[in-house]
Structure 1
Amino acid sequence: MKNILKFSLFALTLTLFIACSDDDGPTAQITINSETTGDLGGDFTGNGGTASETFTWQNARTTADYNADITATASGVLLMNIKDADGTEVLNRTLGNTPEPDSFSGVTSAGTAGEWTVTITVTNFSGDGSFSVSAGN
């Protein structure tokens, strides 16, 4: 009886450990690399995971230049969303789900100068990439 109880306790502990361990699950990470010039940039990586980060950025101008580049499988998706100081969306771009194109760049719609928000979202993303945002002309 004592051995059966020990075995049952061992089996329960092993089951709980396996059920709680999620080290091999899909992950994604977004990091920011702020420059002293006031530009905003960052990197993202993933192995099938999903992540979203929102950054604030001071833009003294009414537009912003943006760029994003990915190396990802056909299933990965990147979304870049930028809002001006009034909270008005000035950019909503998606990249992924196909091998090409693997980058985008341009100038946002005009908005209000001040504190802008930049949201980067990767969904089911496997690979890596980078993004940058700077004050427009």
Structure 2
Amino acid sequence: MKTSKFNLLTILTAMVLFIGTFSSCSNDDGPDVNITVNEGPSGDVDGDFTGNGGNGSRTINWTNNLATADYNADITATATGTFKLVIADANGTVVLERTLIGGTEPDSFSGVTNSGQPGNWTVTITLTSFNGDGSYSISAGN
């Protein structure tokens, strides 16, 4: 028996659609986080962060010619999960370690770091099971 071209074309089209449908399914909608960094002309660092239940971190290298830094961070009042800010001086000594826990007070913090060695500092932001958004800023202290 001879198979018509129409039946072969129909079967081929159905197979392509079937394979395309299942191969295009992925877990792109899974939990994730996004941490942005903006560096101002005066050397200040700030940014925003968002998450939908994911985990992530970002380390920023920052030149601080002074011995302290001013910091500020806040999360939305309805956020869940944790936001952690760690700042280390040019010697790698931690001069600040603060955490905000979503759904609890306070939902912001600010202040001045402990004194440290001027030079290349690191700012590490870590989000854990974070769902919400917030912002942060770091600038050279006095």
Q: Which range, TM-score by smaller chain?
A: 0.7 to 0.9
Could you tell me which of 130, 133, 136 is aligned with 2:138? 133
- Aligned pair count? 135
Once the two structures are overlaid, the 10-residue window that deviates more, 9-18 or 106-115, is: 9-18
Residue 77 of structure 1 corresponds to which residue in structure 2? 82
Shift of 1:41: 0.6
Alignment partner of 1:66 is 2:71:
yes
Structure 1 residues not aligned, in runs of 5+: none
Which has the higher Rg, Structure 1 or Structure 2?
A: 2
**1:77 CA drift (Å):** 0.7
How far off is 1:14 after superposition? 4.5
TM-score, normalised with respect to structure 2:
0.82
Determine the structure 1 residue equivalent to 2:47: 42
Matched residue, 1:24: 29
- The residue type paired with residue 33 of structure 2 is A
Identity %: 55
SS at match of 1:76: strand
RMSD: 2.3
Q: Please, which of 91, 96, 99 is the counterpart of residue 96 of structure 2?
A: 91
Distance in structure 2 (CA, Å) of the matches to 1:34 and 1:122: 20
Q: Which of 84, 108, 111 is 2:113 aligned to?
A: 108
